[in-house]
Amino acid sequence: DAGVTQSPTHLIKTRGQHVTLRCSPISGHKSVSWYQQVLGQGPQFIFQYYEKEERGRGNFPDRFSARQFPNYSSELNVNALLLGDSALYLCASSLSGGPAETQYFGPGTRLLVL
Amino acid sequence: AQKVTQAQTEISVVEKEDVTLDCVYETRDTTYYLFWYKQPPSGELVFLIRRNSFDEQNEISGRYSWNFQKSTSSFNFTITASQVVDSAVYFCALSEAQGNSGGSNYKLTFGKGTLLTVNP
């Protein structure tokens, strides 16, 4: 079975631009979470979605938004990019997003903002 | 608020040595879950183990073992007879209910990770 997939794998943008990152969860998983991992740090929680509804968001500005589609895939959008948005963006999926469930991660999208 | 501390930033060992990675956590919840993930240079986080707060039984899986102690809020990870392929960044993570806006989301809070280098 396919794991979590993310696209694109790498992306280079300039300040002020916007970006859309995509994620497809493991088949049968209905919850998707997004994390940002800056170099040398652990992943930081951005959003969690379940059944197309936002369940929660981390401490990120409104420039960050996301949505989940009927097929449970998800998009993360970042507007007005800043240099500090350069990071590895990780998507994770789980069955229903509960605390006891293991979140399985995709390979990530490496975003570089120049 | 929940917090995970991995005090060891980097560890370097020679192949076949045993190595222990430390993890200390903080939470006000009585029910919570702890995880270890491995991140090789490719970047993908690989799940290793999950423990719940009401099961302090230690676990061994091949060369890996985990020591969970609620009294000291620690969840340490030991690799026995390390191999070069074990070289990676290892993350400890904590899951508890955030209870956002009447619902709940169960985010993972990660430590900063420990870079393990196993030299031949």
- Predicted confidence (pLDDT) per residue in A34-65, tens digit: 999 999 999 999 999 999 999 889 999 999 99
How many secondary structure helices (H) and strands (E) does chain A include? 0, 11
Of the candidates B74, B113, B106, B78, the residue with the CA atom closest to the CA atom of residue B92: B113
Report the pLDDT averaged over residues A74-80: 98
What the block records as the tokens of B48 is 């290793």
CB contact under 8 Å between B106 and A45, yes or no, is no
Contact: B103, A56; criterion CB under 8 Å: yes
Distance from CA of A17 to the nearest CA of B (A): 25
State residue A41's pLDDT score. 95
Low-confidence ranges of chain B (pLDDT < 70): 97-105
Among chain B residues, CA nearest to A105: B45
In the A/B pair of chains, how many CB contacts fall below 8 A?
Answer: 75
Phi, psi of B101 (to 5 degrees): 55, 45
* Per-residue pLDDT, B99: 47
Which chain A residues contact residue B101 at CB under 8 A?
56
Q: Is the pLDDT reported for residue A9 higher than 60? A: yes
- Res B100: pLDDT: 45
Yes or no, beta carbons of B33 and A56 under 8 Å apart: no
Which tokens in the block code for residue A65?
Answer: 């938004």
- Give the mean model confidence (pLDDT) for residues A78-87: 98
Higher-confidence position of B43 and A75:
A75
CB within 8 Å: A105 and B105 = no
